[in-house]
Structure 1
Amino acid sequence: MKTLLILFTTLILLSGCATHQSPTGRNQVLLFSSQELEQMGTSSFAQIKKQEKISQDAATNRYVDCVASRITAVLPNSGLPWDVVVFESEQVNAFALPGGHIGVYTGLLHVAENEHQLATVIGHEVAHVLAKHSNEQVSRAQLSGIGMQIADAALGAGGISNKELYMAALGLGAQVGFILPYGRKQESEADIMGVELMARAGFDPSQSIALWQNMAKHGGEQGPELLSTHPSHGHRIDDLAQMQQQVMPLYQASKPAAENSCQFTK
């Protein structure tokens, strides 16, 4: 019981002392410093580059780098360098990691039909970094680890033999790792921030709707939203449609400055 009390007290103190607000006002528990997350991001990116095939196609690399550079140029502390790598893979995916790292899979370029749609995805992924979603996920994993110890102690004290069943019921069978799937609230937050980023960078925010329509066609049947960590395509499209009036003026103001088109030419 003493061990259980210590673990429970630790869990309460950690979650209480590390509460922050996200850019949209949502409460977050962040247990790690920016420096620690940057080290994790840099280490993870180095590992991914060893595991995945890096594209050597010059035109593809120029195109992706052009879009990413315009997005990162409008970020706070935009003077910081970002490492952009294109991976040769049919995955329809992209990601951004703390420490200034962006990865884009060539499969995404078959669904994102133009520079504006690619900017939708890159802006969304960079927004995850700005909103400290990786810190939030790793912190949650850390707290889950403590929670699992609490459950172990409690179940042991109660004499329950089938711990696995109860651990599953408690939702503590979580995968612990650096790149964790984001939740629906985080995804929606990244949508809001990402569409603003792309508009400020001179990309047409109306194309964000077209991008997710393309994603819906590519993804086929999707289960109920409550059974997914991501918003449904329909919900996501509706939210982006409602934001158009807010972000279109940003796009109109930034268009004259966005002279470097990122057209994909071989």
Structure 2
Amino acid sequence: MKRFLLALAALWALSGCQTLQQIDKGLYQVADVVSEEDRVTGQRSLSFAGRAEQIAKGNQYVEQILAKEKKEGRKVDAALNRPQYYRLVRVFDRIHTVSHLSNERWQPVLIDRDSFNAFTTGGTYIVVHLGLMEQLKNDDELAAVIGHEIAHTVANHVFERQSHAQVSAIAGSKSARKGAYQAAFTHESEREADRIGILYSALAGFDPLAASRIWARQYTLQGNARALFAHDHPVNAERQAETAKVGQAVKPYYAPGERNPQYASLLKNNVLWQQGESAQAGEGGGLQALLGTAFGAYVQHEQAKQEARRQQAHANFVKAIETRLKLEQSSAPDAKTLDTQWRYSDGPRLTQVVIGLLIQKGEKVLRAVAHVDGEVRAGSRFQARFTLPEGITAQELKSLEGRFYLDDALPVQ
């Protein structure tokens, strides 16, 4: 922000005596301080940190993680699991080669966590949990995750969000301070990273429909948890549908196991986006860049507000329907299965009904979901069958604290 104010001061000093061409160059300098040209779309996006600063700050965070792993005696990379590490490197290299940052030297890191997770911090590391590697048996699915994470840095999501938050604070935006808004802002970044990552997969010779298979599986296992919290990622069912649509769109660029020979030009112009020509500094490019930055930030702000409202409206719908459901009976046909019968008193016809079960076991909260087949009508009874989480038996469930909830439902259109 200090750099921005200094640039404005310099522009103000020049404006009284310089030509329009020089003023436009000054405007471009101001725009360059507070934004960067989006590598994907070519449009301006808000960012107070240049690429060198992004790398320094992003890498510092990861290097602190690695230092802590070493201090606590945990192995990383090949020392942790040689086959999985070399698999990670092999798939990463193919995706990175077709990315917008292929000119940078990146390093994939494998750490000892059993969770389904991977992340980047805006620098040149990608950190992947061993649990994710073990759960994704298919290299096409691993490529989708790696492409998604590289895309976060390509689109500058880490520093874009920080810059947007600073501007919102200065502007006094009340909505931007709300947790639901912040979650929605991240939600839209996740959708963009999915689109970019799926294109990378196709260009690198990996199945672009693999991402949709991941989220279809996660939906079966986890449901959507619509009313439990604000979502900073698309819910599984929506993510499966959208990634399938994107995968189909870019499928013509895909040849199994082969890098698309036109990948460089397709990064600029493809079925998902088209990069337009930008005017040069001194030729209207400065004004264009400054106005583009402001307009882009405004659009992102409005999209986040709209997404926050959409999520809240659906969460309210789910909570209202939940009050009309009554558990009538439950039974356990075997040690790992719980059958339940419910009555839906009144309301619209429902589809894609998912009932959730939260189980408290010590300090852990475990979750199971049951997908209800077909439509549910007012006044009807329906069955919901749960497969209990690993480590929980039906007999043990009787002595544990459990709570049923409506995970999701949609009105029949």
Q: TM-score when scaled to structure 2?
A: 0.48
Say yes or no: does 1:143 pair with 2:163. Answer: no
* CA gap 1:243/1:221 in 2 versus in 1, 3 angstroms: closer
> Contact 2:184–2:231 at 8 Å: present in 1 too?
no
One-letter amino acid matched to 2:237: G
Match in the other structure for 2:203: 200
Match in the other structure for 1:157: none
Match in the other structure for 1:35: 52
User: 1:24-63, aligned counterparts within 5 Å?
Assistant: 24=41, 28-52=45-69, 53-55=74-76, 56-63=80-87
Q: Which residue of the other structure, out of 115, 137, 150, is the alignment partner of 1:91?
A: 115
Say yes or no: does 1:107 pair with 2:131. Answer: yes
Equivalent position SS for 2:120: strand
Match in the other structure for 1:120: 144
Say yes or no: does 1:214 pair with 2:217. Answer: yes
> Contact 1:111–1:218 at 8 Å: present in 2 too?
no
Aligned-partner Cα distance in 2 for 1:171–1:145 = 8
One-letter amino acid matched to 1:99: G
Equivalent position SS for 1:76: coil
> Contact 2:114–2:131 at 8 Å: present in 1 too?
yes
Match in the other structure for 1:75: 99
Match in the other structure for 1:172: 177
Structure 1 residue 87 displacement after superposition: 0.7
Q: Provide the aligned length of Structure 1 versus Structure 2.
A: 222
Equivalent position SS for 2:234: coil
* CA gap 1:26/1:211 in 2 versus in 1, 3 angstroms: farther
Match in the other structure for 2:158: 134
> Contact 1:133–1:182 at 8 Å: present in 2 too?
no
Aligned-partner Cα distance in 2 for 1:37–1:188 = 22
Equivalent position SS for 2:205: coil
What are structure 2's unaligned runs of at least 5 residues? 9-29, 261-413
One-letter amino acid matched to 1:33: G
* Superposition RMSD in Å: 3.2
Structure 1 residue 239 displacement after superposition: 1.4
Say yes or no: does 1:245 pair with 2:248. Answer: yes
Aligned-partner Cα distance in 1 for 2:199–2:36 = 22
Of Structure 1 and Structure 2, the greater helix share is in: 1
Structure 1 residue 78 displacement after superposition: 2.1
- Which gives a bigger RCO, structure 1 or 2 (Cα 8 Å, sep 6+)? 1
Say yes or no: does 1:230 pair with 2:247. Answer: no
> Contact 2:84–2:133 at 8 Å: present in 1 too?
no
Moved over 6 A (4+): none
Aligned-partner Cα distance in 2 for 1:67–1:225 = 35
- Greater CA drift, 239-248 or 16-25: 16-25
Equivalent position SS for 1:255: coil
Structure 1 residue 226 displacement after superposition: 8.8
1:211-236 deviation digits (Å, cap 9, x = unpaired): 11223344344225992121121221
* CA gap 1:250/1:87 in 2 versus in 1, 3 angstroms: same
Q: TM-score when scaled to structure 1?
A: 0.71
* CA gap 1:220/1:113 in 2 versus in 1, 3 angstroms: farther
Aligned-partner Cα distance in 1 for 2:252–2:228 = 31
Aligned-partner Cα distance in 2 for 1:58–1:210 = 27
* CA gap 1:50/1:209 in 2 versus in 1, 3 angstroms: same
- Greater CA drift, 217-226 or 52-61: 217-226
One-letter amino acid matched to 2:147: G
Aligned-partner Cα distance in 1 for 2:98–2:251 = 16
Of Structure 1 and Structure 2, the greater strand share is in: 2
Equivalent position SS for 1:227: coil
* CA gap 1:173/1:249 in 2 versus in 1, 3 angstroms: closer
Aligned-partner Cα distance in 2 for 1:112–1:86 = 14
Aligned-partner Cα distance in 1 for 2:220–2:193 = 21
Structure 1 residue 246 displacement after superposition: 2.4
One-letter amino acid matched to 1:172: R
What are structure 1's unaligned runs of at least 5 residues? 1-9, 152-168, 175-179, 259-266
1:30-74 deviation digits (Å, cap 9, x = unpaired): 111111111111101101212344432111111111111111111
Structure 1 residue 137 displacement after superposition: 1.7
Aligned-partner Cα distance in 2 for 1:225–1:188 = 21
- Identical positions, percent: 28
One-letter amino acid matched to 1:198: S
* CA gap 1:216/1:120 in 2 versus in 1, 3 angstroms: same
Aligned-partner Cα distance in 1 for 2:223–2:258 = 38
